[in-house]
Amino acid sequence: MERKQSVWVVDDEPNGFEVIELLLRREGHHLTYFNSGKEILSRLESSLPDVILLDVMMPEIDGIETCRRIKANSNWKPIPIIIVTALDSKEDLARSLSAGADDFLTKPVNGVELRSRVRSMLRIKQQYDALQASVNLRRDLSKLVVKDVRQPMSTVLLGSHLLLQSNLEAKDRERAEMVYAAGLEIDSIIKGLLRLAKMESGKLVLNLVEIDLNELAEVVVENFQAIANSKQIQFISKLPEQGRWLSIDAELFHRLLDNLITDAIQSSPQNSRITLEINYPETSESVKKATIRVTDEGVGINRDLQQSIFTQYESGSLISGTSQIGLSLAFCKMVAEAHGGTITIEDNQPQGTVVTVEI
């Protein structure tokens, strides 16, 4: 049996609900009445509707403020809200839209217009739910693949490690070491993806340790120096003479720096420069602990993509023949936010990209 679509009506006047109920009677929706913004905000903690019809003029919390609070919550934001008001002015429309309302109706409500707008919002909600289900399915499949790969990867690591313990010829030992090193890198990536899944689900517990951020950055720079040299890219590190000990998850931040520099190298042409810069606030009173900035001289990222690139699976062409799937930057964003920080992207002048992480 198909589920009835739920429509919540919020109005401090009971006869307002009676009018809506009468006009929507034949639509077959499941209607629920609330007499205040405070009541619906409380109810949203336990269940979510498909559409909300929200009256503006209410005591305590008016409809516009109620709408603003609903849209400020990431779990409630997708719910379409139709503001219903007896006030008919462009100012009220502007205030409603600024608060996040998806549509607008004036009283007295016209039945044809009401039904049409509710149907439209329900279609939008259905499309959103279908898209979200598709994204969740793809994410779940990705997690299953990562978990399935982990066991055979452990076998590769164990086998190559045992080979290294045996009496191998110099050439064979070199090959075994290459396999073992590559296996460790793949295993690290798998662990990073599993931690990313935990961050998404809110189950990740940061392993905070006191670490000198300068020393961590120097290790990362050294790891990438040979790759940069092979592409004839000048790798510049600008680190303060005096480092600073910060309480961070060292493994996650190592991966964050790896991802930022890998992306910079991939997007950079030959004979260009990449700069890794770290700055610390001058006073201990500052909320900001450190600023990490990676600058390249590639073709840059399209302005329209500079925000969406932090979303998983978002793609965009950085340079000819190279695609950026956004997974690494999604990981960086989650790591920064898990540490109470932010990550932003802007254009480098005259050419390239600047990625800034503040923690």
In a domain, 1, yes or no: no
Are both 270 and 212 inside the same structural domain?
yes
Q: Are 297 and 334 part of one and the same domain?
A: yes
Task: State which of 63, 93, 109 marks the end of a domain.
Answer: 109
SS3 content of the chain, % helix, strand, coil (to 5): 50, 20, 30
Q: Of residues 284 and 301, which shows the higher confidence score?
A: 301
**What does the pLDDT read at residue 327?**
59
- Which two tokens mark 288? 């900001």
Residue 133 lies inside a defined structural domain of this protein: no
Residue 10 banded pLDDT, cuts 50, 70, 90 = very high
Query: Could you tell me the two tokens for 308?
Result: 């969406």
**CATH number of the domain where residue 82 is located:** 3.40.50.2300
**How much is the pLDDT for 320?**
41
**pLDDT (mean) for 12-37:** 89
Q: Is residue 50 predicted with pLDDT exceeding 70?
A: yes
| Count of alpha carbons within 13 angstroms of residue 41, beta-carbon side | 17
Residues 221 and 318 in one domain: yes
Last-in-domain residue among 201, 216, 237: 201
Q: Residue 149: its pLDDT value, please?
A: 77
- Is the pLDDT score of 314 beyond 60? no
Quick check: 359 and 340 in contact, CB under 8 A? Answer: yes
* Alpha-carbon separation of residue 7 from 12, 48, 284 (angstroms): 16, 10, 51
**Does some domain include residue 132?**
no
pLDDT of residue 31: 92
Distance CA 10, CA 91 (A): 21
Choice between 343 and 87, residue whose per-residue pLDDT is larger: 343
Q: What is the mean pLDDT of residues 152-163?
A: 83
SS3 20: helix
Question: Residue 249, SS3?
Answer: strand
Least confident of 104-113, 176-185, 228-237, 253-262: 176-185
Percentage of the chain exceeding pLDDT 90: 20
Exposure string for 145-157, b = 16+ CB within 10 A, e = fewer: ebeeeeeebeebb
- The tokens for 133 are 């289900």
Residues 152 and 175 occupy one common structural domain: yes
Strand partners, 274: 235
Q: Are 197 and 229 contained in the same domain?
A: no
Provide the residue type at 244 as one letter.
R
Q: Is 331 found in the same domain as 212? A: yes
At 292, the pLDDT band (50, 70, 90 cuts) reads very high
What residues does 82 pair with on adjacent strands?
A: 53, 103
pLDDT of residue 322: 43
pLDDT at 181: 79
Domain boundaries, position 254: 208-358
In tens, the pLDDT along 59-109 reads 888 889 999 999 999 889 999 999 988 766 677 778 888 889 999 888 888
Contact 293, 274 (CB under 8 A): no
Chain center to CA of 228: 29
Which residues does 218 contact at the CB level (< 8 Å), separation at least 6? 237, 239
- Amino acid at the residue 106: T
Do 214 and 296 lie in one domain? The reply is yes
- Residue in 216, 317, 322 with CA at minimum distance from that of residue 276: 216
103 domain residue, yes or no: yes
pLDDT in tens, 105-131: 888 889 999 999 999 999 999 888 888
78 and 189 in a single domain? The answer is no
Q: Is position 93 within any domain?
A: yes
Partners of 260 in the β-ladder: none
**SS3 for 353?**
strand
215 shares a domain with 182? no
| 67 and 174 assigned to the same domain | no
Same domain, 308 and 353: yes
How large is the average pLDDT for residues 351-355? 86
pLDDT exceeds cutoff 70 at 312: no
Q: What is the pLDDT of residue 319?
A: 41
160, 186, 201 — which closes off a domain? Answer: 201
Condensed to tens digits (0 to 9), the pLDDT of residues 178-196 reads 888 788 777 777 776 776 6
Residues 165 and 214 in one domain: no
Give strand pairing partners of 276: 237, 294
For residue 115, being part of any structural domain is answered with no
Query: What CATH number is given to the structural domain containing 266?
Result: 3.30.565.10
Look at residue 72 and give its three-state secondary structure. Answer: helix
- Per the prediction, the chain carries an average pLDDT of 82
Query: Residue 297 CB: number of other CB atoms within 10 A?
Result: 21
Q: State the SS3 of 96-137.
A: HHHCCCCEEEECCCCHHHHHHHHHHHHHHHHHHHHHHHHHHH
Closest Cα to residue 161, out of 176, 175, 174, 172? 176
Q: If residue 278 lies in a helix (H) or strand (E), which one and from where to where? A: strand 273-279
Whether 55 is in a domain gets the answer yes
Q: Is 133 exposed, middle or buried (0-12, 13-18, 19+ CB in 10 A)?
A: exposed
- Per the structure, how many domains does the chain have? 3
- Residues sharing a CB contact under 8 Å with residue 94, sequence separation 6 or more, in sequence order: none
The answer to whether residue 266 sits within a structural domain is yes
Q: Cα separations (Å) of 113 from 23, 91, 119?
A: 10, 21, 10
